Amino acid sequence: MKKTIIYLSLALVAFSSATFASNVKTGTSFELVAEYNMTTPLGMAICKGDIETVKKFIEYGASVNERSNGLTPLMLAARYNQAEIIKVLLDNGANLELEDERGFTALKYAELSNAKEAFSILKEA
């Protein structure tokens, strides 16, 4: 009787460990978090759509053409359809012609993201 109880408890532990192991999610969430954390404060403000903070960063000397993760602030604003921020960046000398490592410009990011307002502003500029 004792042997049966021991064998059943070992089997129960083995099956429950396999069940817990199969429920663990594997994926690229760590990579996405790491990439998001590597952006500049100006880039974070652009992604959030905080136009007042963007203006303050530019006022205090943040470069409107500095790259973060290979993207310029103008590319980030185009990607997230931040039309007002695009106007501020362009007024402060953001370069429309800069490309990332794949050859995409801010206009291309607006097109790929289906950001219609951003695309029309960049097209006119």
| pLDDT at site 11 | 64
Residue 68 forms beta bridges with which residues?
A: 71
Instruction: Write the pLDDT tens digit of every residue in 93-118.
Output: 999 999 999 999 999 999 999 989 99
Contact 81, 118 (CB under 8 A): yes
pTM of the complete model: 0.68
Q: Tell me, which fold does domain 3-124 have in CATH?
A: 1.25.40
DSSP characters over 3-62: HHHHHHHHHHHHHHHHHHHHT---SSHHHHHHHHHTS-HHHHHHHHT-HHHHHHHHHTT-
Residue labelled with tokens 């501020």: 88
